[in-house]
Amino acid sequence: MNQDKTGLDRRSFLKASLMSGGGLMLTVSWLSSFKSADKSEMLNLPEQWATLNGYIHIMPDNKVKLICPNPEFGQNVMTSLPMMLAEELDVDWKNVTVEMGPHDPAKLGAQFTGGSNSVRMYWKPLREAGAAARQMLREAAAQTWNVPVGEVTTKAGILSHSSGKSAKYGDMASKAASIPVPKDLKLKAPKDFTIIRNSKKNVEIKKITSGKPLFGLDYSVDGMLIAMIQHPPAFGMKLKSFDAAETLKMPGIKDVFTQKLYADDLEQGGFDTRTFNDLLVIVGNSTWEVMNARKKLVANWEPAGDLKDKIGGRGGVKEVTIPGALESTTTQLQQMQEYAAKPAQELRRDGDPESAFKNAAQVIERTYNGPFLAHNTMEPMNFFAHVTADKALLVGPLQAPGWTEPMLSKLLNLPPDKIEIQMTRMGGGFGRRAYGHYLYEAALISKKMKAPVKLMYTREDDMTYGIYRPMYTATYRAALDANKNLIAFHVKGGGIPEHPIHANRFPAGAVDNYLAEGWQIASNITIGAFRAPRSNFNAAAEQSFLDEVAEAAGKDPIAFRLELLKRAKEKPVGKNNEYDADRYAGVLELVRDKSNWNKPGNEKYKRGVAAYFCHNSYAAHVVDMVTRDGQPYVERVFSAMDCGIVINPDAATNMVQGAVVDGIGNALYGQLTHKDGAAQQSNFHNYRMIRMNEAPKSVEVHFVQNDLDPTGLGEPPFPPVFGAVANALYKMKGKRYYNQPFKDETEKVI
């Protein structure tokens, strides 16, 4: 058994109390697991509580219930989190049930789904909670039976003693609640796991497949009104005037009005992004009535001009100027080329790259471009709000309730304890639902109407409203000596409105002379986190470029990467390398072996490989491409992942497979462009998504087996897919692809 000393007292780790039903409730401490730059703030807590992350209920009927703190959008945390609890608690899995908790930072901690952090953050606290509850139950049984606690064993929710005495957990729960929480907890060694590493079906699968109400769109109350917002037709414009006379004549319409989202001098948080501040709102009885009435609105728009926002953050409050230009993709590309030629911010420097490039026998230089991408969550954006003078109830799909509540409190002039946020299952998130502007909009509309309101976005509303993946570019340079050895590497990347560069990732640390630079251009086109932010572009460009460098060096692309990783392991350059060279090499070796790379039997395929590290995990893919009906088609994929201990193998496999399909679709088709500030794509008729018959026939997923603590999985498989697709296209067409989406280029040459 492993012994783990928490170093936390009873108050800050677990709090036990008797429940009305005679059961045991344990509240899990947030601080026992996750290191945070804001730990000093986390410790500044009311005396009676630590920052908490969940509840365990052991009921008299021997049922175990976990109130899940983290929002669920398909990554399966509502199954994986209770699996960790049940493992250490030693209960029968069929007796475990899960409920989604409301937003309650005092009890449930910093509730957030994003950054592939859910399992990683809860790995230790939930296991500690299970182990502590099990020990307290053993103590209760020992006292009841008057035997040493060391003689009390547990199995599947049953307490036993060699004398023949036994009891269910539920029988001892009330007494266990009065026993001090142990400070030293013995956690299971990975070799002893019986639930973790064994696949369990999604705990909500019956509800999902039978159409039970789970999503924000399903939520309804008596007297609920529907609201929609008419926003300007282009970024950089604002409402000048409107005429709602005909709209108000339409059946079911209650009101049309303007609403300012933020006051001009309001300090915003980093995730309080909003695209248009002056809202034109239509409210009625039903979605259909409001949609039809909105068509009758007459609105006049005018240039917004430059705007200034106050943004708060760890570095204090800063004033940001938002330019008022009506931007177009063609002019943006020209502007990016101009910026790329200027000096940029130095992000990392090793050795003397300038001299190495000057003296190189060969220099390879390539530039890569990526467009804005829309999140396109399958469930349209929506949120319910019922705001009264003294309280507010909000219900809907949201990734980060803790980040939205402070602003909501300001907007409604209500203290946080008068605001209740209930989180529904999300029909997709991908970062889009980490930004709470749509929740604020719903709340302000409800307050104005003095009624419960559900705000609805159509697909067109969402796709033209912003919060996109940024537009990126990066120029890579590699210097080879006379023996074809890589002696210098330089990346200079920029974007609108942020750059994509992760300066301390591979191949940093593997090259003597290395330089990374970044620059960015301000824009009024709003952006936000998009599955594996920045990495999704950076991996595509970097992994495409490394293939080209490997070819120039006369080396196999996998062997070339492994040589660099060997150097990074044995004689690393620099001190801030983010990745573990051994683990990085491990996924490349695994995918090489499982795909039978460079072995007979794969002649029909054009093969591309890529690997990447992000969100504390390592991913590698081999993409096998064929020509089908005159078009490139990814027929099969081999994937290798190192994310530490895999909690739920089937669910993990599904997550990787989904990321692969998502990556192929975005690489070949994803693109959102603008003309005079207006998005030129508004729905799936002109924003191309991958179709079911275009998905690979096979995505074979393999995990590196180790006993390391689990790390991210929702995002890490996604970025290297782009590079693998680009490298396979090169094998098929004999030309390199530098601009996403690749489909636009392939259509010209097929």
Q: Residue 529 falls within a domain, yes or no?
A: no
Residue 274's pLDDT is what?
84
Residues 165 and 84 in one domain: yes
Cα-flanking dihedrals φ and ψ of residue 132, to 5°? -65, -45
Give the per-residue pLDDT at 745. 60
Q: How confident is the model at residue 101 (pLDDT cuts 50, 70, 90)?
A: confident
Backbone angles phi, psi at 625, to 5 degrees: -115, 145
Interval 562-585: pLDDT, tens:
999 999 999 999 989 999 999 999
Under the banding of pLDDT at 50, 70 and 90, the label for residue 439 is very high
Q: Are residues 592 and 629 in the same domain?
A: yes
Query: What pLDDT does 17 receive?
Result: 39
Residue 4 has pLDDT above 90, yes or no: no
Residue reference for tokens 């390391």: 708
Out of 42-51, 77-86, 137-146, 554-563, which region has the weakest mean confidence (pLDDT)? Answer: 42-51
Cα angle for residues 704, 196, 23 (degrees, 5° grid): 160
CATH number of the CATH domain containing 101: 3.30.365.10
Query: What integer is the mean pLDDT of 460-471?
Result: 95
Is residue 492 in a domain? no
- Residue 265: its pLDDT value, please? 85
Output the 3-class SS for 50-103.
CCEEEEEEECCCCCEEEEECCCCCCCCHHHHHHHHHHHHHCCCHHHEEEEECCC
**Cis geometry, peptide bond prior to residue 323 (ω within 30 degrees of 0):** no
How large is the average pLDDT for residues 584-588? 98
The whole-number pLDDT of residue 455 equals 98
Give the pLDDT band (50/70/90) at residue 24.
Answer: low
Residue 366 counted as domain residue: no
Q: Which of 177, 202, 227 is the last residue of a domain?
A: 202
Q: What is the pLDDT of residue 152?
A: 97
Distance of CA 480 to the CA centre of its chain: 38
In a domain, 363, yes or no: no
Mean pLDDT in residue range 128-144: 91
Per-residue confidence at 257, pLDDT binned at 50, 70, 90? Answer: very high
pLDDT on residue 744: 65
What pLDDT shows up at residue 316?
Answer: 82
Q: How confident is the model at residue 609 (pLDDT cuts 50, 70, 90)?
A: very high
The verdict on 229 and 150 lying in the same domain is: no
Dump pLDDT digits (tens) for 33-59.
333 333 333 333 222 211 222 467 878
What angle separates helix 169-176 from helix 118-145, to the nearest 10 degrees? 90
- In this prediction the pTM is 0.91
What is d(CA 233, CA 444) in angstroms, rounded to the nearest whole number? 22
What phi-psi label fits residue 616: left (phi over 0), alpha (psi between -120 and 50 degrees) or beta?
left
Same domain, 23 and 94: yes
Q: Each residue of 215-240: pLDDT tens digit?
A: 999 999 999 999 999 999 999 999 99
For 55-78, write each residue's pLDDT tens digit: 678 788 888 887 787 889 888 989
Q: Count the domains in the chain.
A: 3
pLDDT at 44: 36
Instruction: Quote the Cα angle for 83-89-91, to 5°.
Output: 75
Residues 660 and 697 in one domain: yes
Residues 602 and 641 grouped into a single domain: yes
Claim to verify: residue 429 and residue 575 sit in the same structural domain: no
pLDDT score recorded for residue 20:
37
Does residue 570 sit in the same domain as residue 662?
yes
Same domain, 195 and 268: no
Cα(626)–Cα(628) distance, integer angstroms: 6
Residue scoring higher pLDDT (270 or 469): 469
Can you say whether residue 677 is alpha, beta or left, with left for phi > 0 and alpha for psi between -120 and 50 degrees? left
How confident is residue 445, by pLDDT bands cut at 50, 70 and 90?
Answer: very high
Whether 8 shows a pLDDT value over 90: the answer reads no
> Is there a domain that residue 517 lies in?
no
Tokens of 588: 């490349």
Q: pLDDT by residue (tens digit) across 486-541?
A: 999 999 999 999 999 999 999 999 999 999 999 999 999 999 999 999 999 999 99
pLDDT of residue 705: 96
% residues pLDDT > 70 (the chain): 91
Would you state the pLDDT for residue 30? 32
How many C-alpha atoms does 239 have within 13 Å on its Cβ side? 20
My answer on whether omega of the bond before 507 falls inside 30° of 0, hence cis, is: yes
Is pLDDT of 409 > 70? yes
Examine residue 50 and state whether it is found in any structural domain, yes or no.
yes
The answer to whether residue 392 sits within a structural domain is yes
Contact predicate 280/448, CB 8 Å: no
pLDDT at res. 25 = 53
Structural domain ending residue among the three candidates 175, 202, 229: 202
Is residue 120 domain-shared with residue 185, that is, in the same domain? yes
pLDDT of 106 strictly over 80: no
If you search the block for the tokens 């039976």, which residue do you land on? 145
Mean pLDDT of the chain: 90
In this structure, the answer to whether residues 657 and 604 fall within a common structural domain is yes
| 606-635 mean pLDDT | 97
What Å distances lie between residue 337 and 9, 285, 520, CA to CA? 57, 50, 12
pLDDT bracket for residue 14 (50, 70, 90): very low
274 falls within a domain:
yes
* C-alpha to C-alpha distances, 649 to 77, 84, 191, nearest whole angstrom: 13, 13, 16
What is the pLDDT, as a whole number, of residue 685? Answer: 95
The pair phi, psi for residue 559, each rounded to 5°, is -60, -40
Query: Do 224 and 282 fall within a single domain?
Result: yes
Q: Which two tokens stand for residue 494?
A: 């920029």
DSSP 434: G
Six-digit token string for 445:
């509309």
Which residues span the domain enclosing 129? Answer: 2-202
> Residue 747: its pLDDT value, please?
57
Domain termination residue (choose one: 168, 202, 236): 202
pLDDT of 180 reads: 85
Q: Are 152 and 160 in contact (CB under 8 A)?
A: yes
